[in-house]
Amino acid sequence: MERRSCKLYVCEEIITNILNRLPSKSLARFKCISKDWRKYIAEIYRCRLQWPKPYQLGFFCVEKRLKSRFFFSSKESSLVIGTSLDESISFIGERVYVVASSDGFLLCNKLKSRQRIYYVYNPATRQRLDVPKTQILMDDPYVGFTVKETDGSVSFTIVRYGVHQPYFHDLHYSVTIESFSSETNIWTATLDAPIRFYPSRDETSSSSACAVDEVFCWLCNEAHWVTVYDSVKKCFWTLGLPDQMWFSRGSGCLGLSGGELCFASNSGTTISCWRLNNFPSRDAVWVWKYNIDVATVVQKCREDFGLGGGNALGFKVRNMVFHLALPDILYLQIRSKVISYNVKTSTAELVHEFGEAWRKTVHYKLFSYEWPQWPPLQ
Amino acid sequence: MASSSKTEQKKMLILKSSEEEEFEIEESIAVQSGTIKNMVEDDFTLIPLPNVDTETLIKIIKYMKKHGEKTKSNEKDIEEFDKEFVKKSFTELKELVLAANYLHITSLIDLLCQAFADRIKNKSVKAIREIFGIPNDFTPEEEAEVYEQHKWAHEEGKEHIDHSAY
């Protein structure tokens, strides 16, 4: 029998299988190969377009104010961006730490600048924008950062307020809040903004806000409410939390998922999740969505935790983060691992292993990083 | 294995390559191939494989035998085997992936496609055309247009763009 020639024709199915495993830079380059390959790649883009927007790529993880690192939240996400993400944020050329993220951009603080020098950085394109120095010195402020994209141009807003020197008079506290808009390129300060309750914070809770349409929200972990700042109307108000009984024993997290504000309260054994309806109106109401049993999640990943048939007592959930687009998925940081749990399918998956003693991971802060754009379709 | 009053005879199959060479293999191992499984269900014991040459068939049988004895304890061992298995020339990999596709051995198809992807990821357009034997059907103007649209992808970045076809 005649041996086949070495220029073998590999069928479309296999080519597509191979192409689907490649990052976007390789795919963009391979469009030049032939008309068929351009067609196959267009089909792959079309399928990827059906992935949820915003597309959750992964997390930047920051320990206190030290170096940042990054991990992907799924196998597919590493295919979108490949190796062109500046995971250690070193390309920015300054010693910085991440304080907030929004729409594929990071807000970073320059180390040893007394928190007065900020950068807005895009780790995928490596573009850096220097924000002018803040007017006011604040010690460990609450920060809010939101990016808006309109017709190919990007604008952003930063707000910050200090919590360590509020003063009390006339039955309310006052704080100084500073805000920056990329449209004006200046910081404006509002002195003595009244705030009804004294915002307090412990070491583990996040100082960065969730933002919905220029309205920023911070969770007061010690207390039982959400501090809301409307940067358009320039006023603070307070939003109560739904589950005060359990909350006082455990921890909570506030996050955006599918554009809506969500809250998770962790009592130690159970996590309850709620979604806020009708926000940012003041008649916003919390609606209970689901409960997660921590022991069940750990059991589903028991091999990852090195458990035999043992029980899951003592598995404290350190951090909880909502999936940016899919409300049924919650990320849990348990011991030194990050697990994603899908409530709809009751499946748990190990997303990342910090590879360190879990005591060291206690102060890690996770910032969701998203890929807002797709490569342009041809 | 649980013992029974009759010793169970392991059912054997014969696989025949395109060059008419025959290989004996346990049925329980051979049915990792969907194609072979279908033929077994139609009562075949001699399985002719006119699309697979001898050299390739030997490699595939080796793969199936290794993966047929998969247990919880030898996962690392199998991972090592898979790593070594794909260290082959592009020509050999192409023969293998076509055969695996024809035989419907999903795990092998995935292993081979991943190996291809890892090796071609940073290669240039010319290198890919050579590896896969793809003629350039763009006119020079068309090709220039596609190139311009994605110029960033052709530039050297963190990863070096490789022009070799090996």
The mean pLDDT value for A85-104 works out to: 88
Chain B interface mutation, best of A18, A31, A125, highest count of B Cβ atoms under 10 Å: A18
**DSSP assignment of A202-262, as one string?**
-TTS--B-EEETTEEEEEETTTTEEEEEETTTTEEEEEE-S-HHHHTTSEEEEEEETTEEE
Burial of B135 (0-12, 13-18, 19+ CB in 10 A): exposed
CA distance B74 to B65: 13
Q: Which residue has the tokens 């028991």?
A: A302
Q: B101-131 burial, b if ≥16 CB within 10 A, otherwise e? A: bebebeebbebbbebbbebbbbbbbebbbbb
Residue A221 pLDDT class (50, 70, 90 cuts): low
Nearest CB to A28 within list B18, B53, B150: B150
Residue A349, Cβ neighbours under 10 Å: how many? 15
Residues 6+ apart with CB under 8 A from A170: none
Whole-structure pTM value: 0.74
- pLDDT value at position A178? 92
- Contact assignment for B154 to A9 by CB distance below 8 Å: no
Nearest to A190 by CA among A240, A131, A230: A230
Q: Which range has the top average pLDDT, A86-90, A224-228, A289-293? A: A289-293
The answer to whether A276 touches A257, Cβ cutoff 8 Å, is no
pLDDT tens digits, B5-27: 555 678 999 999 999 999 999 99
Mean pLDDT lowest among A65-79, A119-133, B117-131: A65-79
The answer to whether A261 touches A254, Cβ cutoff 8 Å, is yes
- Residue A215's DSSP bridge partners are A212, A230
The mean pLDDT value for B84-99 works out to: 95
Residue B95 has what DSSP assignment? H
Nearest to A210 by CA among A321, A74, A134: A321
Residue B93, Cβ neighbours under 10 Å: how many? 20
Burial of B159 (0-12, 13-18, 19+ CB in 10 A): middle
Nearest CB to A22 within list B121, B136, B138: B121
- pLDDT value at position A3? 42
CA distance A183 to A147: 12
- The helix/strand/coil state of A4 is coil
| Mode of pairing for the β-strands spanning B12-16 and B46-48 | parallel
Q: What is the ipTM of this complex?
A: 0.91
Mean pLDDT lowest among A60-74, A138-152, A222-236, A245-259: A245-259
Mean pLDDT score of chain B = 90
pLDDT tens digits, A267-297: 888 899 999 988 888 888 899 999 999 888 8
Is the pLDDT at A341 greater than 70? The verdict is yes
pLDDT tens digits, A312-331: 556 788 889 999 988 899 99
- Contact assignment for B121 to A26 by CB distance below 8 Å: yes
Is the pLDDT at A146 greater than 70? The verdict is yes
- pLDDT value at position A166? 54
CA distance A70 to B130: 36
Residue A76 pLDDT class (50, 70, 90 cuts): confident
CA distance B93 to B73: 28
Chain A residues within 8 A of B94 when measuring between CB atoms:
8, 10
Mean pLDDT score of chain A = 83
- Contact assignment for B128 to A30 by CB distance below 8 Å: yes
Is the pLDDT at A4 greater than 50? The verdict is no
The answer to whether A320 touches A271, Cβ cutoff 8 Å, is yes
Is the pLDDT at A373 greater than 70? The verdict is no
Mean pLDDT lowest among A114-128, B42-56, B125-139: A114-128
- Contact assignment for B101 to A18 by CB distance below 8 Å: no
Q: Please count the CA atoms within 13 angstroms of the CA of A86 that sit on its side-chain side.
A: 18
Is the pLDDT at A299 greater than 50? The verdict is yes
Chain A residues within 8 A of B19 when measuring between CB atoms:
1
Please give the residue of chain A at the shortest CA–CA distance from B131.
Answer: A7
Whether A171 has its CB under 8 Å from any CB of chain B: the answer is no
- pLDDT value at position B162? 85
- pLDDT value at position B94? 94
Distance from CA of A9 to the nearest CA of B (A): 7
Residue B157 pLDDT class (50, 70, 90 cuts): low
The mean pLDDT value for B53-64 works out to: 96
Is the pLDDT at A244 greater than 80? The verdict is no
- pLDDT value at position B36? 95
Nearest CB to B159 within list A15, A28, A83: A83
The mean pLDDT value for B65-70 works out to: 90
Is the pLDDT at A7 greater than 60? The verdict is no
pLDDT tens digits, A202-220: 655 667 888 888 899 998 7
- pLDDT value at position B112? 97
Higher pLDDT, B16 or B1: B16
Please give the residue of chain A at the shortest CA–CA distance from B140.
Answer: A32
Chain B residues within 8 A of A4 when measuring between CB atoms:
53, 95
The mean pLDDT value for A177-205 works out to: 80
The mean pLDDT value for A162-171 works out to: 63
A103: left (phi over 0), alpha (psi -120 to 50) or beta: left
CA distance B67 to B73: 13
**Phi and psi torsions of B114, nearest 5°:** -65, -40
- Contact assignment for B150 to A14 by CB distance below 8 Å: no
- Contact assignment for B146 to A23 by CB distance below 8 Å: no
Chain B residues within 8 A of A11 when measuring between CB atoms:
98, 101
The answer to whether B107 touches B100, Cβ cutoff 8 Å, is no
Is the pLDDT at B160 greater than 80? The verdict is no
Distance from CA of A21 to the nearest CA of B (A): 6
CA distance A5 to B91: 10
pLDDT tens digits, A27-41: 989 999 999 999 999
- Contact assignment for A28 to B135 by CB distance below 8 Å: no
Chain A residues within 8 A of B125 when measuring between CB atoms:
29-30, 32-33
- pLDDT value at position A307? 64
Nearest to A137 by CA among A114, A108, A153, A154: A114
Residue A55 pLDDT class (50, 70, 90 cuts): confident
